[in-house]
Amino acid sequence: MSAVPPVPGKLLQTLIQASAGSQANYRIAVYGQAILGSLYALGHFDLKLAGGILGWVLPMIWVVCTYRLLKEKAEKHPVLPFPSWIKKEPGNTLIIFLDGVFLSLIWFFILSGLYDRIWIRVLFTVVFPLLTLAMLRNLFLYPPEENPAGT
């Protein structure tokens, strides 16, 4: 019986590296999300596809990467103050699923026009995605001695 390695899969590792793996990648992701998200939220381009990508696809990728990386880091460092249910299955998958359902419902209301206020679009194309990206970067850098200098 072989043990499952605590590292996220190769695809997730690639996505983490592309989003938060280096200071340059992180900076590009943050500025890109902030600028494009702001332009979309303020109505400078009103493509529903852009709203879906900036507000649902990219944040969902970052949510999955964050929770999977959180699980990995929590297994390596038991002193991290996360609840035990999020450190193992099915809790980790359940929280990703619930986050996805929440984002899907919000974006259904926004893209269908049922609830399309500017502050809601700013919240879900700028604030929450940047918060999720910042959490991913901080988890990637924890603990400092595991990461090479300059990343």
> Residue written as tokens 């695809």?
11
Give pLDDT < 70 ranges for the chain. Answer: 1-8, 144-151
Residues sharing a CB contact under 8 Å with residue 141, sequence separation 6 or more, in sequence order? 147, 151
Check residue 1 and give its pLDDT: 39
Check residue 113 and give its pLDDT: 83
Check residue 150 and give its pLDDT: 56
Check residue 148 and give its pLDDT: 60
Name the pTM for this structure.
0.84
Instruction: Report the distance separating Cα 32 and Cα 26, nearest Å.
Output: 10
Residues 70 and 96: beta-carbon distance below 8 Å:
no
Side chain identity at residue 146, one-letter code:
E
pLDDT tens readout for residues 35-66: 999 999 998 887 888 888 999 999 999 999 99
Residues sharing a CB contact under 8 Å with residue 9, sequence separation 6 or more, in sequence order? none
Check residue 5 and give its pLDDT: 40
Check residue 8 and give its pLDDT: 67
Instruction: Report the distance separating Cα 19 and Cα 25, nearest Å.
Output: 6
